[in-house]
A and B are shown apart, each in its own frame.
Chain A
Amino acid sequence: MAESNQPPIPDDEFADPLENYDAPDYADPLEEALDTRRVSDLQAQPCETISVDTTVADAVKKLATIHHACLLVEEGGRLAGMFTDRDLLDRVVLEYQECRDQPVHTVMIPDPVYVSESDSPAAVLAVMAVSGYRHVPVLDADGMIAGVVSPRRITEFLLEHSPSE
């Protein structure tokens, strides 16, 4: 091991770099959970995925069969888009005869905003509040699809961590 050129610091001269660090002060367990828990704790599974080449008709059937409001659209295991109830409402229902046999990538949300498994639940709230997305895809450290946080799950999280009466 190489020896340091720096002489050792006498104990009476050592200055703790964290001396002035103030630990976060949380007003209640919910605020603490929003800040300190991780998206991986939100149980963002199961999530349903379809390929970018799936037809619109098959995507609609799958949404209804699994009773979910959101499908993640993948290409080679990576997130390519998201197909949700809102896309069905805005781009499919009134043009169904024209688009039913088209691939889902023609009507999906491309490149949706996502969070990482290691992000805090507050990051999910930020996406929902600022970007307006109600379903937030979760990617793992390798950038692969790991799940999706639904409105129901985030509601459960808020209730779970709210102090009971």
Chain B
Amino acid sequence: MGLAEKFASTPVRDLNLREMPICDVGATVKEAVEKLQEARVGCAMATEDGKPVGMFTEGLLRESFAQNPGVIDETIAAHMAAPFPKVYLDDTVDMVLAAMQANNTRFICVVDADEQIVGLTGQKGLMEFVAEEFPRQVMVQRIGDTSTTNQREGA
């Protein structure tokens, strides 16, 4: 099966989903930044009464912070993307690709049929998928200025 066919037939649930940090919509930007740092991801979901209402990303932080470094004391409500890009667990991987391009984002929220947050995917998950499914094409590549033999196990 080819790569494009894999994209079109593999459900999102088969990707290595990352845990989505959750912040209350009333949390400050500073609190959200601390959560992102702790989780080592660039995106958090803002919730209100437990329901997802918007997405706060490092890209949105960049735009807001450059305008006014004081935004770190404001709530994330004014600095989040709403509505936010999402896919369902049973959607296929090519829909992640399409959602990333349509929304010009690296982060896509994954929800279940009840609209509950299941995890986070996006560019990283997609690249990992390609590398795992097609190691002959991807994993034999030289990375950086290290010689290939130095990167290979047993070399």
Cβ contact within 8 Å between B123 and A93: no
Distance of A137 Cα from B86 Cα, bound (Å): 29
Q: What 15 new A-B contacts, CB under 8 Å, besides A27-B1, A60-B62, A90-B37?
A: A34-B137, A60-B65, A60-B66, A63-B62, A65-B66, A69-B62, A86-B58, A88-B58, A93-B69, A123-B142, A126-B138, A130-B131, A130-B143, A158-B97, A162-B7
Q: Using Cβ atoms and an 8 Å threshold, which residues of chain B touch A88?
A: 58, 61-62, 65
Q: Check if B77 is an interface residue, CB within 8 A of chain A.
A: no
Distance of A129 Cα from B140 Cα, bound (Å): 12
Partner pick for A125 among B30, B101, B138, B144, CB 8 A cutoff: B138
Partner pick for B2 among A30, A64, A131, A154, CB 8 A cutoff: A30
Cβ contact within 8 Å between B37 and A129: no
Q: Mark A121-141, 1 if CB is under 8 A from B, else 0.
A: 011011111111010000000
Partner pick for B4 among A30, A93, A94, CB 8 A cutoff: A30
Given A93-B65, A151-B123, residue A126 in contact with residue B143 (CB < 8 A)? yes
Q: Is the interface of B mostly helix, strand, loop or mixed?
A: helix
Cβ contact within 8 Å between A31 and B134: yes
| Interface set of B (CB-CB < 8 Å, partner A) | 1-5, 7, 30, 33-34, 36-37, 42, 58-59, 61-63, 65-67, 69, 72, 94, 97-98, 100-101, 104, 106, 123-124, 126-128, 130-131, 134, 137-139, 141-145
Cβ contact within 8 Å between A126 and B36: no
Cβ contact within 8 Å between A132 and B42: no
CB distance from B107 to the nearest CB of A (A): 10
